[in-house]
Chain A
Amino acid sequence: MNFHQSSPSRDALDWRAFCYVTDELSAEERADFERRLLDEQEAREAVARAVEVLHAAQVVLAETTAQATPRSTARPFLRGFSRLGWMSLGVAACLLLALGLQQAGWLVVPGANQRGEVAEQDAPNHFDAADEELGSALALAWTQTRKLLTPPDAGAIGWEGTGARERTNLISPSKWAEATDAASSRFLAEDVSSHEVLAIENTTEEALFEDAVVATPTWMLAAVAGMEQSAQPSAEAENPDGPKPELSVPQTDNQEG
């Protein structure tokens, strides 16, 4: 495009430098300008100015565009979480509530009598099965929720804990902004929630459960274990003369010291 003025004025030079930086010059004009860059300090400074204006304007316009983005699309992580994540949390909460009610004797499960006690002959097998089922359901719910709550590239932007956060803070604010921008744009570009849901659905239940055994928090495991303990007194209630379990304190090597 031969639309550039050949005036030696600074304005014309700046304009040409801008066109050079934004690739608006023809090959011939570019070569001419680069020859000029070798000789003229003014031309070199003009290129530096053009880059400065260009990048500053890009930053400002990017900010303006980001601010104009609706909230629902600006925070796709939470939007994605609200779909299945809250459902999984709800399921987990309901299961825990059911466990609590059952322990308190307010919830009658199939196979139990009116007082919430289980028939003697069925007690061990029934509670084993129910315990395992509820435990698996809890573990699966927890795993799904955890996967939804963990951003795919959390490690890259330092969401994995205070240590990672502190390391991240060592970089410059611009890099931090770039990193978070990159992560945000990834979330903006993709439907993360459906992606994550598909990933979870494609995973076999066995694999999920194996993962859950490792990752399920202790409080949740304790809730499941509480069922086992509640089963024993119920069975014993039917057989009060049976052997009572010994109350023992776990011995450790450190106790003597």
Chain B
Amino acid sequence: MPPDELEKLDPAVVAALYLEHEAELKRLLWGVLRDSQLACDVLQAAFVKLMECGHTTRAESRKAWLFRVAMNEALAIRRRQAMGKRVVDGLPSTRVSVAADEPLIRYETIQSVRRALEELPPDQRRIVEMRIYDEKTFAQIAQELNIPLGTALGRMRLALAKLRQALPDYQSP
């Protein structure tokens, strides 16, 4: 066996990294690209790169390396496809894409967030509904509820912190 191939990353290690980080990476890529198909393409490209030159990375920093490669690739794709302006000036809806190949969230996450939403004070929950479900901007929400913008933002931020803490993998800092 040539020495080059001996140095390549073990496929089992690549597979384990994929299983461990695929979902989180996909969410990151969706957040940047807003397109499930593009996110899948970039995810694949990142793992191809990992197979090609992952052996040059240290085991403890492989996750960060993988995420950085994916992020670079996502931004490069956006530039190449001239999507940057569209994404910045008029982002597509933040609703879950119907054409997504894989769900971005797990069942237990939904259950946890459901419980957390139920426990929110009504005024916070109202802001969450208007921002996340009705997709209104904070400025619109503030105007509609006749409250200061800072109040709307503050309630959303408090609610978001509670929802985030409900995530199954959330680790307190």
Binding site for B on A (CB under 8 A): 1, 3, 9-11, 14-15, 17-18, 20-24, 27, 30, 34, 37-38, 41, 44-45, 47-62, 65, 172, 174, 178, 182
A48 to B21, CA, bound (A): 11
Q: What residue of chain B has the Cβ atom nearest to residue A65's Cβ?
A: B133
Considering only residues 117-173 of chain B, those with a C-beta below 8 Å from chain A are 117, 128-129, 131-133, 137-139, 149-150, 153, 157, 160-161, 163-164, 167, 170, 173
Task: Describe A's contact surface by its main secondary structure.
Answer: helix
Contact at B94–A57, with CB atoms within 8 Å? Answer: no
Bound-state Cα–Cα, A5 to B98, Å: 34
- Measured between beta carbons, the chain A residues less than 8 angstroms from B112 are 56
Q: Do A58 and B160 touch (CB < 8 A)?
A: no
Whether B133 and A44, one on each chain, are in contact in the complex, defined by CB atoms closer than 8 angstroms, is: no
B82 interfacial contact with A, CB 8 Å: no
**A34 neighbours in B (Cβ, 8 Å):** 32, 75
Residues of chain B with a CB closer than 8 A to A38's CB: 68, 71-72, 75
B52 interface residue (CB < 8 Å to A): no
Docked complex Cα distance between A178 and B99 (Å): 9
Chain A's nearest CB lies how many Å from the CB of B117? 6
B42 within 8 A of A: no
Residues of B close to A60: CB separation below 8 A: 110, 113-114, 117
A191 to chain B, nearest CB (A): 23
The answer on a CB contact under 8 Å between A56 and B160 is: no
* Residue in A3, A62, A172 whose beta carbon sits within 8 Å of that of B150 in the complex: A3
20 more contacts with CB within 8 A, not counting A65-B133, A174-B100, are: A1-B138, A1-B139, A14-B160, A18-B160, A24-B137, A45-B24, A45-B67, A47-B28, A48-B31, A52-B27, A53-B160, A53-B164, A56-B114, A56-B163, A57-B117, A60-B110, A60-B117, A61-B132, A62-B133, A174-B103
With contact pairs A3-B150, A52-B27, A58-B133 given, residues A44 and B67 touching in the complex (Cβ less than 8 Å): yes
> Is B13 positioned at the interface, with any CB of A under 8 Å from its CB?
no
Report if A41-B117 is in contact (Cβ < 8 Å); known contacts: A22-B94, A23-B91, A48-B31: no
Between-chain CB contacts (< 8 Å), 16 pairs = A3-B153, A22-B94, A24-B137, A49-B164, A51-B27, A52-B167, A55-B105, A57-B133, A58-B96, A59-B110, A60-B114, A61-B117, A61-B133, A62-B133, A65-B133, A172-B103
Whether, in the assembled complex, B95 has its beta carbon less than 8 Å from a beta carbon of chain A, the answer is: yes
**B109 on interface, CB distance cutoff 8 Å:** yes
Chain B residues whose C-beta falls within 8 Å of the C-beta of A65 in the assembled complex: 133
Closest to A10 in B: B173
**Residues of chain A within 8 A of B31, CB atoms compared:** 17, 20-21, 47-48, 50-51
Q: Which of B71, B91, B132, B161 contacts A57 (CB 8 A)?
A: B132
Q: Do A51 and B30 touch across chains, with their CB atoms under 8 A apart? A: yes
Bound together, the chains give a CA A37 to CA B67 distance in angstroms of 9
